[in-house]
């Protein structure tokens, strides 16, 4: 047994440990600051380089060999059209899949397979989806390097995100809502249609928007399916061609999207194009962060109206 | 509503039975449709495996798998092609190691800080801001690595080439921080308060509690956060395609340009390879290697979660 410590030593010991606590606190703050400063530097660098190029013409011009005349018209139009296809495919499929897994699925091996599968798909690198699209959509189904192919590929990519967030939204609805509806004689589908889906909307919407904001920035799968980088025309305006076949002409059109345009400009040696890349990046970041902000705001707005 | 036939109870019953049958049928159909939607994810996996295996099998009939795993050159588009996947693998490993040497220490420190040291307000404001780091499209990080970080590094070390693994890896590491920190923090916050209280009651300080009580108790969650970070790093494409150059070389030196599995696929896809040529098949063989690699990490993650799970 060692001798008892005298109070001065104990105080010194406490001081030393307090100092360690303080040092770790500072270390934590520094680490956080590194992350946040990176983000700030990225934005500021992009803004300084890119903002001088942002003008109305930049949004209304096609890409060009001359950096000062090049614009992002075909890129942002392409991005929006591809996102439309992605949303139309991924949202119903994702919500339906999530409703099945959360409300219908029995505990059996098949359900386990589907669940493990969704978890694993979320970890598959995005470029693998590009290879899937290349082998399947382009060379097996013959869909070509079109808006439809890109939209479907990105829809499969964000499906796990939509499913997971929808399931969480459904799970957070209290059980007595379901029991109350069943007690009134509602069928299972009526419970889902009239109660669960409306109450789950904030969570589901958040998931959908986060998924789409991920999809709009994806570059690798779109490059893999061989999207062209020099597109100086617009796809036909959706749903305006000769009915019935002309309505869907836009789906088969070649296209380019924002990330591809940025990649193209970044990989050129001429610094004037780098300026264009910065300006386009600035627009793309605003699109993605704007979508994220919208998701947060929607969640906040819609949640306020529900009191369990 | 007054029904003329309502005085006849047997007809009413029959109508009720019909309506009931119709309703049951409708419910069955809806369940079937929802089930099919849930199966799309399984079909996606089947599709991925089918496409990768189909093209790779053709590839491996032309190139023996032994050669694929042991050759030290990767020159698939030359007149005398050589196919050594380790050349690309070395680029993937080097860049991932650079990224993880940033993301894991910083991510862990941030997680411990946010979960054990920071107040409620600090955590709720800083966590979403930090998560924006992983929301920025990776192509923009590629731009940032090539045109901001590389010139910055060249000021410190002038011999650094314009394309190098170091700056791509560093930026990739910064991007991965939120994946590591958010999941680790969730795991640490899930550790019951009673463990912390017990530790404080024994006279431990905050730091001692965090490092020797909370961190080990949350180890399974932290480990799966690390695994997620690793598989993000291995599968990252655009940062490397833009900033690391695309020159295959069997080297683990981060100061040189290198090609990774992912950036090789991008490089081939940018060119115009005919469907069915050996060059076209190489990207599927490379993709298969990548998928196997990430699958190994996922399995390791499952195993770690089971092995270190603490039940309270």
pLDDT tens digits along B92-117: 999 999 999 999 999 999 999 999 99
Window 186-205 of B, Cβ < 8 Å to A: 205
pLDDT > 90: percent of chain B: 43
pLDDT tens digits along B270-305: 877 777 788 888 889 999 999 999 888 888 887 887
- DSSP of chain A, one letter per residue? -PPPPPHHHHHHHHHHHHHHHHHHHHHHHHHHHHHHHHHHHHHHHHHHHHGGG-SHHHHH----SSGGG---HHHHHHHHHHHHHHHHHHHHHHHHHHHIIIII--SSHHHHHHHHHHHHHHTS-HHHHHHHIIIIIITTS---SSHHHHHHHHHHHHHHHHHHHHHHHHHTS-HHHHHHHHHTT--HHHHIIIIIHHHHHHHHHHHHHHHHHHHHH--HHHHHTT--S---S-PPPTT-SSTTGGGGGGGGS----HHHHHHHHHTSS-HHHHHHHHHHHHHHHHHHHHHHHHHHHHHHHHHHT---
Distance from CA of A188 to the nearest CA of B (A): 7
pLDDT score of A308 more than 90:
no
User: Which burial class, exposed, middle or buried, applies to B201 when counting CB atoms under 10 A from its CB (0-12, 13-18, 19+)?
Assistant: exposed
To the nearest whole number, what is the mean pLDDT of chain B? 87
Mean pLDDT value across residues B241-256? 84
Instruction: Choose from A13, A30, A35 for mutation: most chain B CBs within 10 A.
Output: A35
pLDDT score of A152 more than 80:
yes
pLDDT confidence tier of residue A116, bands split at 50, 70 and 90: confident
Residues of B in contact with A300 (CB under 8 A): none
pLDDT score of A232 more than 80:
no
Are B255 and B269 in contact by the 8 Å Cβ rule? The answer is: no
B35/A104 touch (CB, cutoff 8 Å), yes or no: yes
Window 72-131 of B, Cβ < 8 Å to A: 106, 109-110, 112-114, 117-118, 126, 128-130
pLDDT confidence tier of residue B269, bands split at 50, 70 and 90: confident
Cis peptide before B294 (omega within 30 of 0): no
B273 touches chain A (CB under 8 A): no
The overall longest dimension of chain A from CA atoms, in Å, is 97
Predicted confidence at residue B208, as pLDDT, reads 92
Q: Which of A7-16, A198-207, B77-86 has the lowest mean pLDDT?
A: B77-86
Mean pLDDT value across residues B4-15? 75
The radius of gyration computed from the CA coordinates of chain B, to the nearest angstrom, equals 27
pLDDT score of A66 more than 90:
no
Alpha carbon dihedral A124, A127, A128, A130, in 10-degree steps, equals: 130
User: Which burial class, exposed, middle or buried, applies to A87 when counting CB atoms under 10 A from its CB (0-12, 13-18, 19+)?
Assistant: buried
Predicted confidence at residue A10, as pLDDT, reads 87
Give the chain A residue whose CA is nearest to the CA of B106.
A31
CA distance B68 to A294: 48
Mean pLDDT value across residues A280-308? 78
Predicted confidence at residue B311, as pLDDT, reads 65
Task: For chain B, give every domain's residue range.
Answer: 4-62, 85-308
Are B254 and B168 in contact by the 8 Å Cβ rule? The answer is: no
Mean pLDDT value across residues B3-27? 81
In 3-state terms chain B splits into helix, strand, coil percentages (rounded to 5) of 75, 0, 20
**Superfamily covering domain B85-308:** MetI-like (1.10.3720.10)
B134 touches chain A (CB under 8 A): no
The radius of gyration computed from the CA coordinates of chain A, to the nearest angstrom, equals 26
pLDDT > 90: percent of chain A: 36
Predicted confidence at residue A145, as pLDDT, reads 83
Predicted confidence at residue A244, as pLDDT, reads 61
B132 touches chain A (CB under 8 A): yes
């Amino acid at each position: 047994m060692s001798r008892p410590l005298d109070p001065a030593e104990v105080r010194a010991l406490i001081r030393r440990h307090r100092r360690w606590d303080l040092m770790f606190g500072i270390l934590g703050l520094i680490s956080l600051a590194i992350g946040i400063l990176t983000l700030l530097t990225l934005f500021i660098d992009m803004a300084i380089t890119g903002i001088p190029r942002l003008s109305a013409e930049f949004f209304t011009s096609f890409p060009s060999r001359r950096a000062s005349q090049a614009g992002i018209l075909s890129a942002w139009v392409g991005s929006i059209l591809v996102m439309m296809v992605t949303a139309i495919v991924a949202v119903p499929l994702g919500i339906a899949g999530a409703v099945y897994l959360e409300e219908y699925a029995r505990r059996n091996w098949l359900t386990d397979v589907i669940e493990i599968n969704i978890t694993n798909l979320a970890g598959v690198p995005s470029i693998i989806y590009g290879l899937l699209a290349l082998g399947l959509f382009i060379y097996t189904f013959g869909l070509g390097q079109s808006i439809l192919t890109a939209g479907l590929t990105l829809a499969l990519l964000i499906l796990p995100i939509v499913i997971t967030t929808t399931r969480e939204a459904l799970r957070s609805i209290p059980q007595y809502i379901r029991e109350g509806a069943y007690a009134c004689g509602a069928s299972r589908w009526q419970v889902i249609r009239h109660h669960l889906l409306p109450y789950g909307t904030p969570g589901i919407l958040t998931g959908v928007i986060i998924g789409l904001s991920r999809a709009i920035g994806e570059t690798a799968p779109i490059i893999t399916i061989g999207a062209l980088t020099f597109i100086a025309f617009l796809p036909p305006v959706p749903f305006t061609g000769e009915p019935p076949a002309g309505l869907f002409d836009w789906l088969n059109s070649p296209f380019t999207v924002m990330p591809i345009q940025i990649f193209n400009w970044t990989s050129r040696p001429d610094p004037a194009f780098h300026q264009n890349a910065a300006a386009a990046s600035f627009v793309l970041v605003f699109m993605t962060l704007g979508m994220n902000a919208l998701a947060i705001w929607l969640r906040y707005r819609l949640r306020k109206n529900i009191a369990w | 509503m007054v029904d003329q036939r309502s005085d006849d109870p047997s007809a009413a019953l029959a109508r009720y039975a019909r309506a009931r049958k119709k309703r049951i049928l409708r419910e069955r159909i809806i369940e079937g449709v929802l089930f099919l939607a849930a199966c799309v994810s399984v079909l996606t996996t089947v599709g991925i495996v089918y496409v990768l295996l189909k093209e790779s099998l053709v590839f491996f009939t032309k190139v023996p798998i032994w050669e694929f795993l042991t050759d030290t050159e990767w020159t698939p588009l030359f007149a005398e092609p050589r196919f050594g996947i380790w050349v690309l693998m070395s680029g993937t490993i080097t860049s991932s190691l650079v990224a993880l040497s940033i993301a894991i220490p910083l991510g862990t420190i941030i997680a411990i800080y946010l979960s054990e040291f920071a107040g409620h307000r600090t955590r709720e404001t800083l966590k979403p801001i930090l998560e924006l780091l992983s929301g920025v499209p990776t192509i923009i990080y590629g731009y940032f690595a090539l045109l901001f970080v590389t010139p910055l590094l060249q000021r410190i070390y002038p011999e650094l080439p314009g394309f190098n693994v170091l700056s791509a890896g560093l930026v990739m590491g910064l991007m991965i921080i939120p994946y590591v920190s958010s999941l680790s923090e969730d795991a640490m916050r899930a550790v019951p308060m009673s463990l912390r209280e017990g530790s404080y009651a024994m006279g431990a300080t905050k730091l001692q509690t965090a490092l020797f009580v909370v961190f080990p108790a949350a180890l399974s969650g932290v480990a799966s956060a690390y695994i997620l970070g690793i598989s993000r790093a291995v599968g990252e494409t655009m940062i490397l395609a833009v900033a690391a150059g695309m020159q295959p070389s069997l080297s683990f030196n981060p100061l040189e340009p290198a090609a990774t599995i992912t950036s090789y696929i991008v490089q081939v896809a940018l060119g115009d390879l005919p469907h069915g040529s050996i060059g076209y098949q190489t990207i599927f063989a490379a993709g298969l290697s990548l998928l196997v690699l990430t699958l190994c990490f996922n399995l390791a993650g499952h195993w770690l979660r089971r092995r270190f799970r603490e039940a309270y």
